[in-house]
Amino acid sequence: MARILDGKATAAEIKAEVAAGIEELEAAGRSVRLDVVLVGDDPASATYVGGKEADASQVGMASRVHRFPAGVTQQRLTDLVDELNHDPAVSGFIVQLPLPEGLDPLPLISRIRPEKDVDGLNPESAGRLSMGLPSLMPCTPHGIIQLLRRHDLPLEGREAVVLGRSNLVGKPMAQLLLRENATVTVCHSRTRGLAEVASRADILIVASGQREMVGAEHVKEGAVVVDVGIHRKQEGGLAGDVRFDEVEPKASAITPVPGGVGPMTRAMLLHNALQAARATLA
Amino acid sequence: MARILDGKATAAEIKAEVAAGIEELEAAGRSVRLDVVLVGDDPASATYVGGKEADASQVGMASRVHRFPAGVTQQRLTDLVDELNHDPAVSGFIVQLPLPEGLDPLPLISRIRPEKDVDGLNPESAGRLSMGLPSLMPCTPHGIIQLLRRHDLPLEGREAVVLGRSNLVGKPMAQLLLRENATVTVCHSRTRGLAEVASRADILIVASGQREMVGAEHVKEGAVVVDVGIHRKQEGGLAGDVRFDEVEPKASAITPVPGGVGPMTRAMLLHNALQAARATLA
């Protein structure tokens, strides 16, 4: 029986800390505001942004959503990024992805000042992370580190295997595990003998984006398994990248889907906004 | 008997290509210039810079060395970086490290425009590399990729192990191997069971900075071994991070020290300066 790593409970802890941090800043006459740029009418994006607004409000953080129709010009968005970069009332902001067809996210993301880049996705933030310099860190991998740390699961000297190499999760995850002194292996679609490689892991992070691809054969007895995937089942409910029922009996600890990594990602966005407001990088 | 990966010969090929590229640009009325900022009178730095000038001259590339006494102010160097950033005659430039006591290299390196960052060491360059965006790449890891590629040693799907996690070599090396679709593991001083982990490698890159620390017990039969280390022996001559005599019989291919990675690093600086002059990032 694996220990279930309850992301909801840990996220609640972090949110309480963020709320306290905001009060402290406000007592000193400063405020925290998290802005979101939302373009078009993708229903999933609208839901995520709604969630972010609710999260912010829950911890007493101001937030503002800048809404645009799908037909907005790249230039208008560029101007907005510049405006938000320079507005001292805005602690940090994100551009909700994906953008509608015809708009290029990269120049916008790259233009966000690293001090306000609360998604941690701009190239300078990525470089600072990789070099071990202070930076705002991508929410999902940082949330996973927090989840492991707050469950007293040691990383130093352990074998960590990351399945997936996206810019959003896999690559920054590898950097953060390395910073924690784990021995880190990154696997991907071209990896040969994946089950063998994955089952070396003391800590296995699955971010392949493929529904239920990881089973018992990928997992060492006693491993810690973190499932980043989230997939909507046709029959209703959610599934991860891991076949939970099969892996759970073998693991020593495992994240559920939902209620594992997801809430941590959301909490870390608030954490980043507070960190940005404290201007730790400025 | 391992195949000896002759970095000198491969570097000569690359230099010939760079020389041809320069001629081509010059025929189109454009020029290539590589500048170096050299502070203080560290004899090793002076030797390296001398080597860079000689390399540049060998391929018909202009270069200029900006020399300062150890007592120069940080501000003066900052101003010079700005000047070189904006001087259209300068294709790319480097600040020779280490700087003397009292000068902080990071703000200077970070200030170099990524398009002119021919050492590939600034955080934005590191981030662009990690995200798979076009960038100027750090010379040693890029040189190693070139050396392997030009010896038809495949990386895709292979197990690559990098020993060392410096910003200069280990971390960008891991990124580049990942880009080549290798399965990549990064080891370091906190890794447990290093010999076992290292001997999984089809390709073992040793950049530990510790003289002759890697022996036969770290190497799988038939592995490709790349030695980044360079240490001056008291009795004269140079040694690497690998015990060559012991590892060579087990490896299928191995770099010598000297004459392996070193010449590749030097050649890639010229390659980067040419790439910068072509303004491929601009």
| A119 touches A139 (CB < 8 A) | yes
CB A132 within 8 A of CB B167: yes
Q: Do A190 and B184 touch (CB under 8 A)?
A: no
**Residues 209-248, chain A: which have Cβ within 8 Å of B?**
none
How remote is the C-alpha of A171 from its chain's centroid? Answer: 12
Beta bridge partners of A63: A34
Binding-site residues of B sit at 164-166, 230
Residue A17 neighbours by CB distance under 10 Å? 15
Q: Is residue B28 within 8 angstroms of chain A, CB to CB? A: no
- Look up A52 and say whether it is catalytic: yes
CB pairs under 8 A between A and B: 99
Q: How far apart are CA B282 and CA B276, in angstroms?
A: 9
Cα-Cα end-to-end distance for chain B: 46
Nearest-CA neighbor of B275 among B82, B125, B66?
B125
Domains in chain A: ranges and CATH: 29-113 (3.40.50.10860), 139-262 (3.40.50.720)
Structure tokens at B154: 């495949």
Q: Residue A199's Cα: distance from chain center in Å?
A: 24
State pTM to two decimals: 0.96
Q: What is the DSSP letter of B214?
A: B
Residue A208 contacts B where some CB pair is shorter than 8 Å:
no
Handedness of CA A135, A141, A147, A152 (dihedral sign): negative
Sheet of B92-95, strands arranged across: B62-68, B33-39, B92-95
Q: Is the pLDDT of residue B104 over 90?
A: yes
Candidate from A127, A133, A158 with C-beta closest to B125:
A127
pLDDT tens digits, residue range B5-64?
Answer: 999 999 999 999 999 999 999 999 999 999 999 999 999 999 999 999 999 999 999 999
Structure tokens at A86: 């320079």
Q: Encode pLDDT of B207-234 as tens digits.
A: 999 999 999 999 999 999 999 999 999 9
Residues contacting A41, CB < 8 A, separation 6+: A69, A70
In this complex, the residue of A123, A156, A186 whose CB is nearest that of residue B184 is A186
- The per-residue b/e assignment along A199-213, b for 16 or more CB within 10 angstroms, e otherwise, is bbbbbbbbbbbebbb
What mean pLDDT comes out for the span B138-155? 98
Alpha-carbon distance of B267 to B262, in angstroms, equals 9
Closest CA to B227 of B158, B173, B184: B173
Residue A90 DSSP symbol: -
Interface probe for A, chosen from B136, B159, B179, B185 (most Cβ of A below 10 Å), is: B185
Q: Which 8-state DSSP code applies to residue B254? A: E
**What are the structure tokens assigned to B226, written together?**
């790349």
Instruction: List the Cα angle A184/A188/A193 in 5-degree steps.
Output: 90
**B281 pLDDT tier (thresholds 50, 70, 90):** low
Answer whether B222's CB lies under 8 Å from A219's CB. Answer: no
Are the beta carbons of A280 and A134 closer than 8 angstroms? Answer: yes
A105-to-A99, A166, B74, B130 alpha-carbon distances in Å: 7, 16, 36, 17
Instruction: Report which of A20, A45, A67 is spatially closest to residue A270, judged by C-alpha positions.
Output: A20
The pairing of beta strand A231-232 with beta strand A238-239: antiparallel
Q: Who's near A137: CB < 8 A, 6+ residues apart?
A: A120, A125, A129, A172, A176, A268, A272
How do residues B66-88 score in pLDDT, each as one tens digit?
Answer: 999 999 999 999 999 999 999 99
Q: Round to whole Å and give the CA distance between A150 and B111.
A: 37
Question: Is residue B119 flagged as an active site residue?
Answer: yes
Q: Which two tokens stand for residue B169?
A: 């070599």
**What would the pLDDT profile of B245-270 be if each residue is shown by its tens digit?**
999 999 999 999 999 999 999 999 99
Tokens at A101, concatenated: 């067809």
Over the range A48-82, which residues count as b (16 or more CB within 10 Å of their CB) and which as e? bbeebbebbeebebbbeebebeeebeeeebeebbe
Q: What is the pLDDT of residue A1?
A: 82
Q: Are A175 and A131 in contact (CB under 8 A)?
A: no
Tokens of B18: 């760079």
On whether any CB of chain A is under 8 Å from the CB of B167, the answer is yes
Phi, psi dihedral angles at A46 (to 5 degrees): -60, -40
> Which of B115, B190, B203 has the highest number of chain A CBs within 10 A, making it the mutation to test binding with A?
B190
For residues B41 and B29, what is the distance between their CA atoms, to the nearest angstrom?
Answer: 37
Q: Is the pLDDT of residue B280 over 70?
A: no
The whole-chain average pLDDT of chain B stands at 97
pLDDT at B1: 82
Q: What share of chain B is helix, strand, coil (3-state, %, to 5)?
A: 40, 15, 40
**Which residues in chain A land under pLDDT 70?**
280-282
